[in-house]
Amino acid sequence: MKQFFRIFIPEQLARHHLTWGDVVVFIGLCILVYLGVRLANGAPGVIKGPEVSLSPTLLPWYAALSVGRMTAAYGMSLFFTLVYGYVSAYHRRAEHILMPLLDVLQSVPILSFLPVALLSLSAIMPQKIAAELASIILIFTSQVWHLTFAWYQALTTIPRELREVSTIFRFNGWMRFKTLELPFAAISMIWNSMMSWAGGWFFLMAAEIFTVGQRDFRLLGLGAYLQKAAWCGNIQAITWGIITLVLVIVALDQLIWRPLLAWSDRFKLEMVEGANPPTSWVYDALRSSRLIAWLRWIVRGLIIEHLDAWLIRLFPMRDKPTSPSTARSTWIFRLMAGAMGLGLVYGLYQAGKMLLAVSILQWINIALGVGATLLRVFASLVIALAWTIPVGVAIGTNAKLSAWLQPLIQIAASVPATALFPVFLLMVISFPGGLNLAAVLLMLMGTQWYLLFNVIAGAMAIPQDLKYTSSLLQLSLIERWRTLILPSLFPYIVTGAITASGGAWNASIVAEYVEFGGKTLQTTGIGALIAKATAAGDYPLLLAGTLSMVLVVVIINRFFWRHLYRLTEERYRME
């Protein structure tokens, strides 16, 4: 187990060099941001959104609007996750492009997506439709990345003997997905779905009301209500908004997440049944309902069986996969690569012209900002690891404790820290460190839940028979952690840490640049620089700041996190 604690080895580090995929991804992102800026020039010069009322009587309607946007964004996230993660896990050539791209996108701040998503849409669509679609897309960017990482991690750590069984039974792709891959990933996917919703709530304020230059985009919703209340310094309105949000979270927990967790307990890899499986009164009611049983029988007989038969005929199991003509596929690949290469060169040239407008002083400020934010990200990640691992293991291995704490954790993770941060800032601004300390704490609020939810999922997935074995061997607490708990949690910790670091970079936007009571407070950091550039409509500075952050994140992910992912595949899969 020495390798478990000796993770960062210089010889292995040297082998994880930047690839051509990283270069293509970075250039493509430069072009994407540049195109968004160019389309923004065609948007209306002055835009004013609807007025958001702070009357508590409108909160149910605002909450329904926000839940609708969150649901649409989660549906997009789930579809993207299943397709993107599947291709990345099973096609090594595609992985060289897709995983670096995912590393980059999950760390790009939500406000850096704003010009691309919002201003480009407003240039080609009516304002109201563009604002709604942009809001859903921005919420999608706060939900999807860690869900995709969890799905990818699950697919790459499925035990080899289970894959061999699926091959012996001649499962095609659909049956393998239905009976092996999705059940194996169920626990992790459900906990990360809960985290997706929590992340969506965290950035709901930024996704429903925002200003870009003289363009004021806002939508009616719970996030816009909390944002306006924070801007006005209306503590009573903030309280009403938080109460409404908590009620929505509790309802979702009882009606959706808790039943799903109780249902997913059947997919644990274990030889014996757990002592205290998770329970849900809604799940018990659905299982005992004859009406639900009748509907399940109809759906299974009329839809699922016919769908299975159709997909089996459509994708039969082949002993030897067929492939098109080598010469023809080579020419097609060369044509596509040539066209893409020309597009990348042209786009990079145009983006470079825009970057020339950034002054030397601004580049120095960007470098200082990236360094300051990197230190805050590291500090918040270390603090989060220190408490989430023991707490997550305690919750994940104790069903009674989980029943009490799960709703509280979900509420704490979902309450937008950006709504409470201005009030919290007033209390700590006089402490040594002032806004710097407050910024680290807010980044911690946006980081720790990614780790905690993944650790809980990993602890719940530990087979009960292995727990019994460790008890029969009379292992000490230290030995049990060293030989069972930490190795079992390692893939989940890596996934949680990657998404947590991305969440910290994202949270820097709202942690380093704060507006409250008509005042603006800021500290040195790339997040504050991007937030100011977005508010002022300074697109060259926004492009330069975003790409600088992306470059640092790509380097860290390539030389550190990717090595840990390879380690999980080789040493820490459950088999």
For residue 351, being part of any structural domain is answered with no
- The mean pLDDT of 138-157, rounded to a whole number, is 84
| Chain mean pLDDT for the chain | 75
The H-or-E segment that residue 561 falls in is none
pLDDT digits (tens, 9 = 90+) for 258-293: 888 888 877 776 655 555 667 777 777 777 777 777
Tell me which DSSP letter residue 462 carries: S
**377, 504 Cβ separation under 8 angstroms:** yes
pLDDT tens string 467-484:
888 888 888 888 888 888
In this predicted structure, the answer to whether residue 333 has a pLDDT above a threshold of 50 is yes
In a domain? residue 293: no
Three-class DSSP category at 45: coil
pLDDT one-digit tens code per residue, 425-464: 667 666 666 677 778 887 887 778 888 888 988 888 787 7
241-to-291, 420, 516, 519 alpha-carbon distances in Å: 37, 11, 16, 21
- pLDDT of res. 448: 86
What whole-number distance in Å separates Cα of residue 35 and Cα of residue 41? Answer: 10
| Res. 383 pLDDT band, cuts 50 70 90 | very high
**pLDDT (0 to 100) of residue 424:** 67
**Which of 81-85, 170-174, 375-379 is least confident?**
170-174
User: What confidence tier does 73 reach under pLDDT thresholds 50, 70, 90?
Assistant: very high
Whether the per-residue pLDDT at 324 is higher than 50: the answer is no
The percentage of the chain sitting over the pLDDT mark of 90, rounded to a whole number, equals: 5
The answer to whether residue 346 sits within a structural domain is no
Determine, yes or no, domain membership for 332: no
The CB-side HSE value for 186 (13 A sphere, CA atoms) comes to 19
CA distances from 541 to 34, 176, 506, 547 (A): 12, 48, 17, 10
The stretch 74-95 carries a mean pLDDT of 87
Residue 86 in any domain: the answer is: yes
Q: Name residue 327's amino acid.
A: A
* Confidence at residue 71, expressed as pLDDT on a 0 to 100 scale: 92
Q: Domain for residue 317, yes or no?
A: no
Domain residue limits at 417 = 9-276+357-571
CA dihedral 111, 113, 118, 123 (to 10 degrees): 130
Note the pLDDT tens digit of each residue in 400-418. Answer: 787 778 777 777 776 666 6
Task: Read off φ and ψ for residue 335, nearest 5 degrees.
Answer: -65, -45
pLDDT at 341: 65
Dihedral sign, CA of 491, 406, 408, 478?
Answer: negative
Mean pLDDT is lowest, of 78-82, 167-171, 362-366, for 167-171
Crossing angle of helices 562-571 and 127-156, rounded to 10°: 40
* Predicted confidence (pLDDT) at residue 419 exceeds the cutoff of 90: no
Nearest Cα neighbor of 26 from 549, 559, 529 is: 549
Amino acid at 569: E
Least confident among 45-54, 134-143, 229-238: 45-54
Share of the chain above pLDDT 70, in %: 71
- In 125-221, where does DSSP find H-type helix? 127-156, 160-168, 173-176, 182-202, 204-208
Reduced to 3 states, what is the DSSP secondary structure of residue 194?
Answer: helix
| Identity of the highest mean pLDDT range in 98-112, 186-200, 550-564 | 186-200
Instruction: Output the pLDDT for position 74.
Output: 93
Q: How many domains does the chain have?
A: 1
At 356, is the secondary structure helix, strand, or coil?
Answer: coil
* 187-205 mean pLDDT: 81
Residue 282 lies in a domain: no
Torsion angle, alpha carbons of 283, 289, 294, 297, to 10: 30
Look at 34 and 506; give whichever has higher pLDDT.
Answer: 506
In a domain, 333, yes or no: no
Dump pLDDT digits (tens) for 350-382: 777 778 888 889 899 999 999 999 999 899 999
Section 308-324 average pLDDT:
58
CA distance 269 to 464: 8
DSSP codes joined into one string, 525-538 = SHHHHHHHHHHHT-
**566 vs 387, more confident:** 387
Nearest Cα neighbor of 539 from 33, 141, 31, 45 is: 33
**What was the pLDDT predicted at 36?**
57
Judge whether residue 19 has pLDDT over 60.
Answer: no
Of 170 and 382, which is predicted with more confidence? 382
pLDDT in tens, 92-147: 777 777 777 777 777 666 655 655 666 666 666 777 777 788 788 888 887 888 78
Half-sphere exposure of 423 (CA within 13 A, CB side): 16
* 10: confidence class by pLDDT, cuts 50, 70, 90: very low
Q: How much is the average pLDDT of 496-506? A: 80
